[in-house]
Amino acid sequence: MPDVQLHDVWKEFVKRGRTVEALQAIDFTVEPNEFAAILGPSGCGKSTLLNMVAGFDRPTRGRVLVADEPVEAPDPKRGVVFQEPALFPWYTVLDNITFGPKTMGQSPAEYRTKVETLLDQVGLLGFASHYPAELSGGMKQRVGIARVLIMEPRVLLMDEPFGSLDAQTRSLMHELLLSVWERHHQTVLFITHDIEEALLLADSVSVMTARPGRIKKRLAVDLPRPRTVELTTSPLFNELKREVLALIREESRRAAIEKTDSL
Ligand code: ADP
Ligand code: MG
């Protein structure tokens, strides 16, 4: 049974009396331990889709299930990583990461070894007592990831998590996320508009249409693991990249024509 299931999901927003159709007839699943990426142009409904899996919002029509249960509200079993990690500025790295376990009533004995391991895995062992203001963007995002992983989520939901980082840091974050994922192997739903990022990280890439968002095509990314950035120069990687680019170009053209028609 898939870990994430969306069945005929539609979503519309009503804004100042106007209806915005964000998603249309989405059928989408993520298998246990699958790293699934969703790729689409800005405004096509990617965050809307993720927010419904996270439990921040409800579909207008259709069903969203995680671990075979309807999603009704946010839950630590579905860990969410956003573009901005929104850390508590007055807490240290350690206190930010242990906030979740403490809130759940876990004792230090329960989470201590987990924190040590995670700090090591995200390369922040020497920074436990630092405050967010003392960290770079990439380090903050690593705290954000550790904070979610400590809750041992069944599903990891990532909404353009590296979108605000510079290319160099972003590339390091890809390697870090891959190494962490090789160890934990959670089910991941990863949203991005970056083709290379999607292909480097994911087992499958689903390309969305322009708004109202639908799943245009799902491609299997049968590239060997463990993966490193060098993979981006391989022939198979570039073949997949060309295929995805063609799908996206087709979509932008269609959207541009529709826009002109409605003028
Ligand atoms: P993406 O993440 O792909 O950039 P979003 O899911 O954020 O796109 O938005 C999809 C569409 O839905 C956009 O046109 C956006 O303006 C609209 N939208 C998203 N959230 C809301 C909301 N809370 N109220 C009204 N419209 C919204
Ligand atoms: Mg978004």
Closest among 200, 191, 221 to 41, alpha carbons compared: 191
Question: What is the C-alpha separation between 5 and 78, in angstroms, rounded?
Answer: 13
Q: Is 62 in the pocket of ligand 1 (CB under 6 A)?
A: no
For strand 187-192 and strand 155-159, is the pairing parallel, antiparallel, or unpaired?
parallel
Q: Is 211 in the pocket of ligand 1 (CB under 6 A)?
A: yes
Q: Is 19 in the pocket of ligand 1 (CB under 6 A)?
A: no
Question: What is the C-alpha separation between 87 and 98, in angstroms, rounded?
Answer: 12
Mean per-residue pLDDT, 143-169? 94
The CA 49 to ligand 2 mean position distance, Å, reads 9
Closest among 179, 204, 168, 162 to 39, alpha carbons compared: 204
* pLDDT at 263 > cutoff 70: no
- Which residues lie near ion ligand 2 (Cβ < 5 Å)? 46-47
Q: Among all ligands shown, which has an atom nearest to the Cα of 160?
A: 2
Q: Which of 48, 53, 216, 259 to mutate to test the pocket of ligand 1 (most atoms within 8 A of CB)?
A: 48
Q: How confident is the model at residue 262 (pLDDT cuts 50, 70, 90)?
A: low
Mean per-residue pLDDT, 120-126? 92
Q: How confident is the model at residue 252 (pLDDT cuts 50, 70, 90)?
A: confident
Residue 21 CA from chain centroid, whole number: 22
Would you state the pLDDT for residue 10? 98
Would you state the pLDDT for residue 134? 97
The CA 44 to ligand 2 mean position distance, Å, reads 8
**Radius of gyration from C-alpha coordinates of the chain:** 19
User: Residue 176 pairs with which residues in a beta bridge?
Assistant: none
pTM: 0.95
Question: What is the C-alpha separation between 132 and 45, in angstroms, rounded?
Answer: 31
Closest among 174, 126, 183 to 149, alpha carbons compared: 183
Closest among 171, 167, 89, 163 to 130, alpha carbons compared: 89
Give the residue whose CA is nearest to atom 7 of ligand 1.
47
Higher pLDDT, 262 or 176: 176
Would you state the pLDDT for residue 44? 92
Residue-averaged pLDDT of the chain: 94
Ligand 1 atom nearest residue 48's Cα: 6
For strand 155-159 and strand 78-81, is the pairing parallel, antiparallel, or unpaired?
parallel
DSSP label at residue 209: P
* pLDDT at 92 > cutoff 80: yes
Give the residue whose CA is nearest to atom 23 of ligand 1.
13
Tokens representing residue 72 in the block: 């009704």
Would you state the pLDDT for residue 259? 74
Give the dihedral of Cα atoms 112, 76, 169, 237; nearest 10 deg. Answer: 120
Kindly report, residue by residue over 206-222, the tens digit of the pLDDT: 999 988 999 999 999 99
* pLDDT at 99 > cutoff 70: yes
The CA 223 to ligand 1 mean position distance, Å, reads 32
Q: How confident is the model at residue 150 (pLDDT cuts 50, 70, 90)?
A: very high
